[in-house]
Structure 1
């Protein structure tokens, strides 16, 4: 039996993937006795982003000193606290400190297939890592890697080289891939390196994608690069409510399959 085709049938709607990346500065702003707890406001902010995948850096799993200082310190790790209803939180520690530990996290409204962590520390003064999470987005696997690169230029170059080796080893060549996070890079060297690996970001023509410092942005330290997806645009929320919550502004990107 032959099923007749409809020549007037609408083509399938494109699948849009919305990704956000945000360095949350451990949920606290300011120093000393004047510092303030922002984790509750950050929870509302993450919900407002309405992203399929949220990549977070400087996320605390625990901190005994801050838990004693702030009366409203959450009873659960920050990744779990920030996850909106219906989202899954995946967290891995990068750095162990005197009072606790912190690292990268990924929040997603889609099913998580697998996740893993790799140490990216380049020297003993900076503890860094990558978080790799595979999610099932509308029936298709998508790989997402959350990074927070080092402060020293040479370290960042070596970490990008390590990232490429990880991708070659762990992710199938044709699989859609998102690499997002705080790259700590004020130039274009890393962008050129990532392009040589087939990873690209939407190219904005103005200064609207600057993310750091939050109060008066001068540079885009936060990025969302992809492979196998079409970048559609970037958006950085503006206003006092945003720059009060962290020293970075969030970056929101949309992509089409």
Structure 2
């Protein structure tokens, strides 16, 4: 689940760092379908300059090069990945890439039915002194299923204590039981009461992609908008500045 490609030596986690979430649409760019253009999403990720990155709809082909591992090598980052379902071209799932080491990676099964296979990837980001629990996910389209998934996540022991960020494509296109539960549970809100619109990329009006936090300060958050981002996926990435207080191990 955790891969250790060649990684660059990293300084200690600073008081603030950048974290991003990006649904990369199976490396298919904005057009989707049978398109396969990993370089488009990689160009956007280079623009973002995040220290910790959560990716959804990551396709790892069964034949040919693996763009996810190549991306980790390119960035010099640590990598964790969990499979949510098998795709006709390989494995599809969620990934976390981090400038700092990852440990304790765990797949949390969020599949409540046969139609949508879903999971969350929970992993600890740590430099030995400071640490942050990250859960990266892509929630269901169906409201009732999404509510059960959120209930599972909020009750999971790995997300119960310490500084925690839940991030990903929440499919929160309108207020529901699931979104209200997340708002009530996570108290570290960003500076703006409105979530940044991230979908569809051609005219973003829906705030599907979100970052919830506890035990840290979300200094700012917004969607990353650029010409490259308009071509890289059907979602815009969201980027947040996180402030992590001093900790004792």
TM-score by length of 2: 0.84
Other-structure match for 1:58: 57
1:75-112 CA-to-partner distances (Å, cap 9, x unmatched) read 12x32122243211111100113332200000000011
Partner of residue 70, structure 1: none
User: Which of the pair has more CA radius of gyration?
Assistant: 1
State the match for 1:46 in structure 2.
45
In the superposition, relative to structure 1, how do residues 191 and 202 fare at CA in structure 2: closer, same or farther (>3 Å)?
Answer: farther
1:79 aligns with 2:68: yes
1:124 maps to what in 2? 114
User: Residues 151, 226 of structure 1: CA spacing in aligned structure 2 closer, same or farther, 3 A cutoff?
Assistant: same
**Residue 110 of structure 1 pairs with residue 100 of structure 2:** yes
Secondary structure of the residue aligned to 1:82 is helix
Within a 5 Å distance, the mapping from 1:185-196 to structure 2 comes to: 185-189=172-176, 190-196=178-184
Residues 183-204 of structure 1: CA deviation (Å, up to 9, x unaligned): 0011233332113323543152
Task: Output the aligned Cα RMSD.
Answer: 2.0
1:226 aligns with 2:213: yes
**Distance (whole Å) between structure 1 residues aligned to residue 204 and residue 160 of structure 2:** 37
Please give the alpha-carbon distance, in whole angstroms, between the structure 2 residues aligned to 1:139 and 1:49.
26
Q: Is the 8 A contact 2:188 2:217 kept in 1?
A: no
Deviation of 1:161 after TM superposition, in Å, equals 0.2
How far the C-alpha of 1:233 sits from its partner, in A, is: 0.8
* 1:183-241 Cα shifts (integer Å, max 9, x gaps): 0011233332113323543152568x210001101111000110001111112122332
**Contact persistence 2:56–2:137 (CA under 8 A):** yes
Q: State the secondary structure of the residue aligned to 1:43.
A: helix
Unaligned stretches of 5+ residues in structure 2: 1-13, 245-249
Query: Larger relative contact order (C-alpha < 8 A, sep ≥ 6)?
Result: 2
Change (3 A) 1:236 1:165: same
Tell me the equivalent position of 2:91: 101
Structure 1 gap segments, 5+ residues each: 1-13, 68-74
How far, CA to CA, are the matches of 1:215 and 1:50 in structure 2?
23
Match of residue 6 from structure 1: none
